[in-house]
Amino acid sequence: MSKKINEVYQFKITLTSSEPSIWRRILVPSHYSFWDLHVAIQDSMGWLDYHLHSFSIKDPITNGKVEIGIPDEEYDAFDRKVLADHKVKISKYFNENNRNARYEYDFGDSWIHTIKFEKIIQGTIGEKYPKCIDGQMACPPEDCGGIGGYYNLLSVLKDPKNEEYNEMIEWLGEEFDPEKFDPNDVSFDDPKERFKQMNED
């Protein structure tokens, strides 16, 4: 991930309906596929990539919506066409006239993210990409019931007298600070290794 890089895409990833806003700003190589971007989002947000995901973005040529993710035979029964994200380059879709995309992680909890393509910058030789340069608030715990479940969890944690308090503490298994985030703590996996691991499981 420390190759010589010419152009780098800057994205802002925001978790929809979060208040205060949970967001990350990341830099990724322009040659990245949507799979690579998915891994970068997972790692920067703090998700563990346990669940399915998909992108929805406007096709800059047809202006129609395109879904990009991991194709599944079940989708065919619903006439749902999903492009294989490891085969689709982000540079084909994101440009100054096509800046926004929707990213969903975990179709059960339905964590919806807004992806905003902010700009292209010149990469610095010797700098490692992807890179998280800014952000705010901790990522919600996996499997906590979506955005509504997350805010219910925070409400319970504020009240030790709540009948669910001890159960929630035990479920979390560790101390959780919803305001804690430091971009310097973010580490990124190699997307090729993650893809190889996924196909071996």
Long-range contacts of 124-128 (CB under 8 A, 24+ apart): 125/4, 125/5, 126/2, 127/2, 127/5, 128/1, 128/2
User: Would you say residue 112 has pLDDT above 80?
Assistant: yes
How far lies 65's CA from each of 60, 75, 148, 152, 199, in Å? Answer: 9, 16, 27, 33, 27
Q: Which domains does the chain have, with CATH numbers?
A: 7-139+181-200 (3.10.290.30), 140-179 (no CATH)
Q: How confident is the model at residue 6, as a pLDDT? A: 83
Q: How would you classify the pairing of strands 82-84 and 100-105?
A: unpaired
Q: Report which of residues 126 and 53 the model is more confident about.
A: 53
As a whole number of angstroms, the distance between CA 41 and CA 114 comes to: 11
Q: How confident is the model at residue 72, as a pLDDT? A: 78
Largest CA distance in the chain: 57
Q: How confident is the model at residue 2, as a pLDDT? A: 45
DSSP code of residue 193: H
User: Would you say residue 5 has pLDDT above 90?
Assistant: no
Q: Which amino acid is at 174?
A: E
Q: In which region does residue 177 sit, left (phi positive, over 0), alpha (psi from -120 to 50) or beta (all else)?
A: beta
pLDDT-based confidence at 45, cuts 50/70/90? very high
User: Would you say residue 29 has pLDDT above 50?
Assistant: yes
Q: 165-179, pLDDT tens digit by residue?
A: 999 999 998 889 999
117 forms beta bridges with 11
**Mean pLDDT for the stretch of residues 119-129:** 92
pLDDT-based confidence at 119, cuts 50/70/90? very high
How far lies 200's CA from each of 69, 172, 176, 196, in Å? Answer: 18, 29, 32, 6
Average pLDDT over all residues of the chain: 93
Instruction: Indicate the angle between helix axes 34-45 and 191-200, nearest 10 degrees.
Output: 100
List the structure tokens of 132: 């998280």
Q: Report which of residues 71 and 148 the model is more confident about.
A: 148
Q: How confident is the model at residue 125, as a pLDDT? A: 86
Q: Residue 8 in contact with residue 129, Cβ under 8 Å?
A: yes
Q: How confident is the model at residue 79, as a pLDDT? A: 65
Comparing 40-49, 73-82, 183-192, the range with the smallest average pLDDT is: 73-82
Q: Residue 7 in contact with residue 121, Cβ under 8 Å?
A: yes
As a whole number of angstroms, the distance between CA 92 and CA 171 comes to: 42
Q: Residue 69 in contact with residue 53, Cβ under 8 Å?
A: yes
